[in-house]
Amino acid sequence: MEPARAPASGPDIAVAGRVDRVRSLPQGHPVKGDGTISGLTIESVQTQLLPDAANPQLLVHVRDTAGAVGTGETWWGTYQPTAPPGTPVRAIAVFIDTILAPVCEGLRIDRVSDIAAVYDQMQRAVAQYGPEGVTSIAISGVDVALWNLLAHRNNSDTADLLGKRFQHSVRAYASLSWLGDAEAVVDTASGAIEHGFRAVKLHEADVELILEVRRTLDPDIAMMLDVSGRWSFDEAAQAIPRLGRAGLVWIEEPVYPYTDHRSLALLRKVANDSGTLLAAGENEFGPSGFERLLAAAAVDVLQPDLVKCGGLSATGPISALADDSAVAIAPHNFSLGPSLLANMAWAAVEPSVRWLEVPWLGAARFPSGMDVPEVVDGAVAV
């Protein structure tokens, strides 16, 4: 069999260096000026379920007493194709409606730093439920909506509230679905490339399929691989060296449990010896999870999911951890909606963010109706 062609550039991701940033706010957010904004009082927090058999979305709307509305989004839940559409996010909606909404309603915000007080109130309200899982996901959705509301009220971009812009465009990759067929992968990837992407991420576990795709795609198109924990440790240790000739930018979540940091650290060495990087982090909840992941030296690329790990209010501490460990950030996102927009805002102010994940489903659409952003020479404007 013809050997797979690796991209001429090989793994292409800049490792973050230390960057001085303002970390004076309680949650670690940078902020411009003195942080004074057009004040507001939260009137209501409401959820909106957008049912879909494959890609349900749960939107969160925060309304102030002047009638302005900010919209956020939670994580979309596990894939449950045989359940009624929207099932994966219903538990999250109930948690927001019954636990978080009453806590937030009536709270006043006069400075950007006041968001930290709202965040603290939500964390206190869920403390006895535990800080991770559904609780963190629910907080994330409200937090993203709150930042969006502040941006609307102040006629600004969310990024401008977060801090100083370091970049105006970021490389983006098209994140494909689980297809299981090389021809289908190539056909879907070709559509993404026509849209302007210069990188694609496969969700596959068959080594020969992955190598076949690499042989077929233009060698100048970068390729990432998300295994979604479908290999055992032994399978991963055998597969990763075989994939060395594919020139993958990174291999993501090769094993389950996703938070098995010891196994990830061992496989990181295997990946590095094979000429690629190891990525993980979408299943960590909050800064403490990322601190454990980085302390284990388990990743080269950190992948926080903002609608799981605490929203934009968690980005300051996570950025600082990545900076201290000199790892790059490539946020996880498989949604077209407020989740992607929040990641774009973070990317604008955080130089460690080197890639953005944009789902590419071909003709399929997310129920929000948001289009894939314009991609020029492999990058999106932020």
Contact (CB, 8 A) for 311 and 96? no
Catalytic residue among 29, 61, 203, 332: 332
Is 361 within 8 Å of 334 (Cβ atoms)?
no
Residue (of 171, 149, 187) closest to 378 by Cα position: 171
Question: Other CB atoms closer than 10 Å to residue 255's CB: what's the count?
Answer: 21
- Round to whole Å and give the CA distance between 347 and 333: 13
Q: φ, ψ for residue 266 (rounded to 5)?
A: -65, -40
The Cα 306–Cα 333 span in angstroms is 8
Token output for 47 = 């959820």
Whether the ω angle into residue 287 lies within 30 degrees of 0, i.e. cis, is no
Q: How far apart are CA 352 and CA 84, in angstroms?
A: 40
Is 195 a catalytic site residue?
no
How far is it, in rounded angstroms, from Cα 119 to Cα 115? 6
Angle between helices 182-195 and 207-216 (to 10 degrees): 40
H/E stretch holding 246 reads: none
The strand pair at 328-329 and 301-302 is best described as parallel
Task: Write out the catalytic residue numbers.
Answer: 332
